[in-house]
């Protein structure tokens, strides 16, 4: 099926998911929308996030997308159910939370798993609820980490500032005894190495990049939606562009790309 995939996030953090899609599904093209005018979603109300998500999904569907990927944990937490129900039987709606939970459960050896995420994601309780249903024996230690995404957006990683913030959060006693940690925001992929160093590689880290892309591949194979050959180019839209924003995309995507400004 030669239609594009629609991918959206509150900003450019979801470019980490888009990059994984390009690697695992090289024949697929996509339309990416980063709602940078409203970032971060983590401190917005549920109603506002749902409003933004509906508008972006409508735009992506108007551009003939064959599937929608909510490449944002916060939007996945509060908007996925609505979008799934609204478009059920029409197109696949893929969130970044369910694939991670499935992977944690599949691993099977965890007794206590930590979660770091935005305030809204944590407050939604969606990770806790899904884990409780899938494996009630796994204890979850959950902590909102609101400074991480803005820190990463501003380019602070692998330096004294990021190390200090990361250590401040992860040294919280709530994480004592964890054997796994879910990175509940697509931004956090960029500090995964620092997080791993904090724990001296002792625990298993879960992020949504390759896990979500592999889930998409599984769905596309089952539904016979895979594209046989590369068609066209990827398009990257943002709702606001600030100074230095183009440089920021290099950290999230790894390649130079053209950002197009689009206000919905």
Q: DSSP state, 244?
A: T
Separation of alpha carbons 84 and 88, rounded Å: 6
Residues labelled catalytic? 72, 185
Helices 209-222 and 98-107: crossing angle, nearest 10°?
Answer: 100
Asked if 116 contacts 247 with a C-beta cutoff of 8 angstroms, the reply is: no
CA 179 to the chain's CA centroid: 22
Asked, colleague to colleague, whether 5-95+210-261 and 98-208 share their fold, the answer is yes
**117-149 b/e with 16+ CB inside 10 Å = b?**
bbebbbbbebbeebbeeeeeebebbbebbbebb
Question: pLDDT tens digits, residue range 212-261?
Answer: 999 999 999 999 999 988 878 999 999 998 776 777 888 889 888 888 99
Question: pLDDT tens digits, residue range 18-51?
Answer: 999 999 999 999 999 999 999 888 889 999 999 9
What is the dotted CATH code of the domain comprising 98-208?
Answer: 3.40.50.1860
5-95+210-261: which CATH architecture?
3-Layer(aba) Sandwich (3.40)
Q: What is the mean pLDDT of residues 46-75?
A: 97
Using DSSP bridges, classify how beta strands 30-34 and 204-206 pair: parallel, antiparallel or unpaired: unpaired
Element (H, E) at 100: helix 98-107
Tokens of 187: 């931004």
CA 173 to the chain's CA centroid: 26
Asked if 53 contacts 76 with a C-beta cutoff of 8 angstroms, the reply is: no
Separation of alpha carbons 13 and 17, rounded Å: 8
- Mean pLDDT of the residues in the chain: 93
Domain ranges of the chain: 5-95+210-261, 98-208
């Amino acid at each position: 099926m030669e239609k594009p995939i629609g991918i959206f996030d509150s900003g450019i953090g979801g470019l980490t998911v888009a990059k994984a899609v390009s690697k695992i599904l090289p024949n697929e093209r996509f339309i990416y929308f980063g709602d940078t005018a409203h970032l971060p979603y983590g401190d917005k109300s549920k109603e506002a996030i749902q409003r933004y998500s509906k508008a972006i999904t409508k735009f992506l569907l108007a551009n003939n997308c064959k599937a929608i990927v909510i490449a944002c944990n916060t939007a996945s937490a509060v908007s996925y159910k609505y979008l799934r129900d609204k478009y059920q039987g029409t197109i696949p709606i893929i969130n970044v939370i369910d694939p991670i939970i499935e992977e944690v459960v599949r691993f099977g050896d965890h007794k206590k798993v930590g979660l770091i995420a935005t305030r809204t994601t944590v407050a939604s309780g969606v990770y806790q609820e899904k884990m409780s249903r899938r494996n009630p024996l796994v204890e979850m230690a959950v902590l909102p980490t609101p400074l991480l995404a803005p820190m990463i957006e501003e380019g602070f990683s692998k330096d004294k500032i990021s190390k200090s913030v990361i250590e401040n959060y992860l040294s919280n006693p709530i994480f004592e005894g964890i054997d796994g940690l879910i990175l509940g925001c697509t931004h956090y992929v960029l500090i995964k190495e620092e997080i791993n160093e904090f724990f001296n590689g002792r625990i298993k880290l879960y992020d949504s990049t390759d896990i979500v892309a592999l889930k998409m591949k599984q769905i596309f194979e089952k539904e016979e939606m895979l594209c046989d050959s590369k068609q066209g180019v990827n398009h990257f839209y943002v709702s606001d562009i600030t100074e230095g924003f183009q440089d920021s995309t290099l950290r999230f995507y790894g390649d130079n790309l053209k950002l197009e400004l689009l206000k919905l």
